[in-house]
A and B are shown apart, each in its own frame.
Chain A
Amino acid sequence: MTRMEKPVTFSRRTLLQAGGALVVSFGAPLTLKSARAAENAAAAATKPPLSPDQLSSFIAVNADGTVSAYFGKMDMGQGLSVAIRQMVAEELDVPVDRTKIFIGDTDTSVNQGGASGSTGVQNGGKQMRAASAEARRVLVEMAAQKLGVPADQLSVKDGVVSATNDAGKKVSYRELIGGQFFNVHLDWNGEMGNPLYAPGKAKPKDPKAYTIVGQPVPRDDIAPKVFAQENFCTDVKVPGMVHGRVIRPAVAGAEPIKVDESSIKNIPGARVVWDKGFLGVVADKEWDAIRAAKELKVEWSQPTPPFPSQTTLYDHIRKAPTRKRDEGKPVGNVDDAFKSAARVIEAEYEWPFQSHSSMGPACALVEIKDGRATCWSGTQKAHFVRAGVAAMLGMPEDKVRTIWTTGPGSYGRNDADDCAADAAVLAKAVGRPVRLQYMRDQGTGWDPKAPASIHKARAAVDAAGNVVAYDFLSKGFSRVDVNTNGSKPWDTLAGQNLGVALKSGDGFGFPGESYGFANKRAAWETIAPLLDRSSPLRSAHMRDPVGPQTCFASESFIDEVAAALNIDPVAFRLHYVRDPRDLAVIKAAAEKAGWQTRVSPRRDQRGNTVSGRGIAYAQRGATRVAVIAEVDVDRGSGKIWARKFTVAHDCGQIINPDGLHHAIENNIVQATSRTLWEEVKFDQKNVTSVDWRTYPILDVTEAPEQVDIVMINRLEVAPSGAGEAASRPVPAAIANAVFDATGVRIRRAPFAPAYVKSSLS
């Protein structure tokens, strides 16, 4: 069985209390000048400060010789922990099962950005790799002094440094520094969060020498969950804790104007917390808090219902004034090229608001004690939540600790950070630790949403049938109407409910591709939010922010152009795509799927159920993915079954192929769900999709029959993100397959049966 150790629940503080790592310094920052001093470096009693320029902030050798990695990003269940342990073990030449990782505790790790943009390995791993390489270099230097053997005549195996020519001369990492801390300065770039990088002098290993990186090392975080031995953030309890619930208005934008506390006087321990737009309750027992929230009589203000009718959403986007436009880097002269075109092909696509709808609504526990506060949260970004909680409590950040604890699922800026801020407000008001879990309607109805958008594309074709110009425009709500984290009060519902004005940011995105059209322009435009305060339709990052919707449009359109020009969809892409790695994933997917060259649509099927195949591809950062979908369409009902996917994926160097396989597969299934089913419904007053019935997702009876994955491993290419990239081409691949099957183009998501049926008739 897999080890049952819980790698993320012990802080460095508890290790110290348990007689684990003690602190030692072996001198000032280790420079060439002071290298000699390492020999005389003695134990020091204090640990260097938790700062990115200290090696001890990332790596420690414990008293038992195990290695601890302190990581300022988070593993939301995609296997990042084991991948990082592999990178650390590889550079240090220790067995991976002698490594531990401590994640997302602001007391034990520096802010490496949390889970963010699939940079866990790309940025976080890069840093841990650099720190581990430096730790190895320093340890070998120490061994050289101790053994009297030059460093270049030493080798390391399983944490033991020995002389290359005399195996009898050896010393272990444990003997060198076990239980003490490094006191080694790193060359920090001064950045916090994702761009943080602090290498030492050591150069990481040549990838050709890898024995641990690239192996399918099993995750060790699964068994504790499967045997119900791990506390989720929903399970954490502290003495004196009460349960909280917040109350949201029926009409978005409404505020409480009268609260009748006597309406819950019969519920044991129930108390109201009301401050401006913020309204919540607490009670000793969770069920009582739920009852109190339900039974509390509240009179709300009656604002004008803030939203347009849902049927006019896309018209609203079309007509709304553009708040910001970004044209990226246009190539050639697009407008002139269109003037001289022999033929122009145009299409427009629409994508709805979507909800994170994490498996459980967010939960946070905030305890204020002795001038300090602690927050347990399932957030993706513990360090930012620390700032947010500190702001809500009016405390300095260094008095607040956030402990990331496994949460109920996360794919971006979901409701977790709002929940932490709400819990902080409640805890401060009642003077007791408060555990707050949202209710389902709050998790689905009031989480920050993936933005709705429209996308217009046109292509100019010359008389010979060559595409000579391409023009693509996305227009939609911003992906940073509220920011990617809850560090600022204006980015949380609690802050906005207490009167802090929203500072809506502008951001969207471009298609990620390398089509070599001579004249080419991709632009995006953002519009203002529908409601500027505490909106259930505020928009933010959700897995591959604006990637699936943008690629849905751009790769559907490429398919439309190929079909209009009577060219096979793969052949068209191979003709125009320029980047060699892009071409490689397209070819690999086509080969694996047994792609038959022909023009879409098929036109040879007569029955009720028709089948088709479609391809789409995308770059996401440095990662490339091509997806081929094979679908069955029930023409009578309009129901689509995405029966088979073939994926070719290139994220550079692969750290753990099993973890990568799961990450890709889960992205494919989740993106299929978003494509076929997911749409936030709303009326003029509020969001009306508030549970799994009103916000349906893909059912297991609709899951694919088969997902084939080709993972291209490029040992020499720095690893790039894999947490989200495979989501991106899925909607277009399905849409293109539906076109192949039916001859009908679906240009609006989701492809729910009623909409597909009406499109087919």
Chain B
Amino acid sequence: MNKKFSLNVNGQVHTVEADEQMPLLYALRDDLGLNNPHFGCGLAQCGACTVHVDGKPTRSCVTPLSEVGGRKIATLAGLGTPEHPHPLQTAYVQEEVPQCAYCINGWIMTAAALLRDKKRPTDAEIRTALRGLKCRCGTHMAILRAVKRAAAMMG
């Protein structure tokens, strides 16, 4: 059954009418035209669809709309802009991290939560926090460099 949902995304409130079992990913992409989160697996196995829900990295491909009404949703576009970039975005550009870049929502949004909660994490802490995210191009070494660079920028 279709229902109306109020979605707070990147500080803006939108109304979406959809099946309540529809994952948030499709509301963001198809109804709101926010292309940042990508469909990678639909199984919460890869992270390409990651957004923040109340600050927590969340796989939007398996999160039904019925669970996110009224909560604060942030996508990669909401993390920072070219004028006011998040340190991770700056570091990603400086380290030239991505190859295909289809995976970056997962890595950046997950690392952003890590760096918010933990100053100067160790290499092991970073790897553990990012465990399970997929990058098929094999950019892992550059990802780790970028997270450390961003951590240093954040002091």
The distance in angstroms between the C-alpha atoms of A681 and B149, with both chains bound, is 39
- Check if B151 is an interface residue, CB within 8 A of chain A: no
- Distance A440 CA – B138 CA, assembled complex (angstroms): 19
A665–B141 CB distance below 8 A:
yes
Chain B 137-155 per-residue mask, 1 if CB under 8 angstroms from chain A, else 0: 1111111100000000000
Q: Of B29, B81, B104, B143, which contacts A225 at CB under 8 A? A: B104
The interface centre, meaning the residue of B96, B127, B131 with most chain A CB atoms within 10 A of its CB, is: B96
Q: Which of B43-51, B52-60, B113-121 contacts A (4 or more CB under 8 A)?
A: B43-51
Contact among A77, A226, A287, A704 with B19 in the assembled complex (CB-CB below 8 Å): A287
CB-CB nearest in chain A for B34: A228
**A407 at the binding interface (Cβ < 8 Å):** yes
- Does B41 contact A700, Cβ atoms closer than 8 Å? no
Task: Mark contacts of B20-47 with chain A using CB atoms, 8 A cut-off: 1 yes-contact digit, 0 otherwise.
Answer: 0011001001100011101111110110
| C-alpha gap A599/B33 in the complex (Å) | 61
**Cβ contacts A231-244/B at 8 Å (1 or 0 each):** 11011000000000
Nearest residue, chain B, Cβ from A443: B41
- A439 touching B42 in the complex, CB below 8 Å, given contacts A1-B82, A665-B142: yes
Q: Which size class do A's interface residues fall under?
A: 35 or more
Contact at A77–B100, with CB atoms within 8 Å?
Answer: yes
| Cα of A188 to Cα of B2 in the assembled complex, Å | 60
Within 8 A of B (CB), among A197-247: 218-219, 222-223, 225-229, 231-232, 234-235
**A645-682 toward B: CB 8 Å interface, digit per residue (1/0)?**
00000000000001100100111111111000000000
- Report A-chain residues with C-beta under 8 Å of the C-beta of B141: 665, 669, 703-704, 707
| Contacting pair A359 B103 (CB below 8 A) | yes
Is A526 on the interface with B (CB-CB < 8 A)?
A: no
Q: Is B101 an interface residue (CB 8 A)?
A: yes
Closest Cβ neighbor of A225 among chain B residues:
B101
Please, which residue of chain B has its CB at the minimum distance from the CB of A707? B141
Q: Note all chain A residues with C-beta closer than 8 A to B46.
A: 359, 692
Q: Which residues of B lie under 8 Å from residue A218 when comparing CB positions?
A: 96
**Residues on B with beta carbons closer than 8 Å to the beta carbon of A223:** 82, 93
Using CB atoms, name the residue of chain B closest to A356: B136
Which residues of chain A are near B19, meaning CB under 8 Å?
Answer: 287
A667, A698, A700: the one contacting B144 at CB < 8 Å is A700
Number of CB contacts from chain A to chain B under 8 A? 176
Cα A256 to Cα B8 in complex, Å, equals: 44
In angstroms, how far is the closest chain B Cβ from the Cβ of A309? Answer: 27
- Is A62 in contact with chain B by the CB < 8 A criterion? no
Q: How far is the CA of A698 from the CA of B139 in the complex (A)?
A: 11
CB distance from A457 to the nearest CB of B (A): 28
How far in angstroms is the closest Cβ of chain A from B47? 10
A77 touches B98 (CB 8 A): yes
If over half of B's interface residues share one DSSP class (helix, strand or loop), that class is named, otherwise mixed; here it is loop
Contact A285 B99 (CB under 8 A): no
Q: Give the docked Cα–Cα distance between A616 and B24 (Å).
A: 47
Alpha-carbon distance between A758 and B75 when the two chains are bound, in angstroms? 45
> Are A666 and B22 in contact, CB atoms less than 8 angstroms apart?
no
Tell me how far the C-beta of B26 lies from the nearest C-beta in chain A, rounded to whole angstroms. 4
- In the bound complex, residues from chain B placing their C-beta under 8 Å from that of A2 are 93
Residues of B within 8 A of A358 (CB): 100, 102, 136
Residue on B with the closest CB to A671? Answer: B138
**Whole-angstrom distance between the Cβ of B99 and the nearest chain A Cβ:** 4
Contact in complex: B40, A225 (CB < 8 Å): no
Q: Which A residues are CB-close (under 8 A) to B89?
A: 226-227
Q: B136 to A228, Cβ gap below 8 A?
A: no
Q: Is there an interface contact between A406 and B101, defined as CB atoms closer than 8 Å?
A: yes
**How far is it, in angstroms, between the C-alpha of A477 and the C-alpha of B9 when the chains are bound?**
50
Chain B CB within 10 Å, residue with most, of A360, A672, A707: A360
Asked whether B138 lies within 8 Å of A667 as measured between CB atoms, the reply is yes
Q: 10 nearest interchain CB pairs?
A: A669-B138, A670-B138, A77-B99, A228-B36, A409-B100, A235-B35, A703-B140, A228-B77, A408-B102, A225-B101
Known: A665-B139, A666-B138. 16 other contacts (CB 8 A): A77-B98, A222-B92, A222-B97, A226-B76, A226-B92, A226-B104, A226-B108, A227-B89, A228-B77, A359-B46, A360-B39, A406-B100, A662-B99, A666-B139, A671-B138, A693-B43
27 chain-A/chain-B pairs, Cβ below 8 angstroms: A1-B90, A76-B99, A76-B100, A79-B96, A218-B96, A222-B92, A222-B93, A222-B98, A226-B104, A228-B75, A228-B77, A285-B18, A358-B136, A359-B48, A359-B136, A408-B102, A409-B137, A437-B39, A440-B41, A658-B96, A662-B99, A662-B142, A665-B141, A669-B138, A672-B138, A692-B46, A700-B135
Interface residues of A (CB under 8 A from B): 1-2, 4, 76-79, 218-219, 222-223, 225-229, 231-232, 234-235, 285-287, 290, 357-361, 406-411, 437, 439-440, 658-659, 662, 665-673, 691-693, 697-701, 703-704, 707
